[in-house]
Amino acid sequence: MKKIISSIVAAGAVAAICGFLFIHNEITDRVNPLISRQDMYVQINRNGQHLSPGGTEYTLDGYNKSGEKSEVTFYAGKDLRKNAYVKVSAKGKYVETWEEVKYKDLPKTVQSKLKQ
């Protein structure tokens, strides 16, 4: 009987770990060792969603240094300047940091995707 219970517990643990690795959201991506951190570049070309009590959430198209497109969602404590370029350090859907950058500091592959 103890072997059966041990087997069930082990199988449940394996299923939980496998499920954890394949579910993508901010929380799981933050700790998932299989997801690497990468810089994404976005242009503030539309309004963000104002959150209560303060700050703004932006969901924009972003590009990595290879020019591959991906949707990026991040939070800013204020409204960002229209048409500003922002470098977002992300690990999957988890955004670690963001900072405004100049157009000339964007990788060439990203410059061709974003307008000046």
Query: Locate tokens 């700790």: which residue?
Result: 31
| pLDDT tens by residue, 54-109 | 899 999 999 999 999 999 999 998 889 999 999 999 888 888 899 999 999 999 99
> What gap in Å lies between CA 84 and CA 95, rounded to an integer?
18
Residue closest to 68 by CA, chosen among 21, 33, 107, 16: 107
User: Cα(10)–Cα(8) distance, rounded to whole angstroms?
Assistant: 5
Whole-prediction pTM: 0.76
Is the confidence at residue 20, as pLDDT, over 70? Answer: no
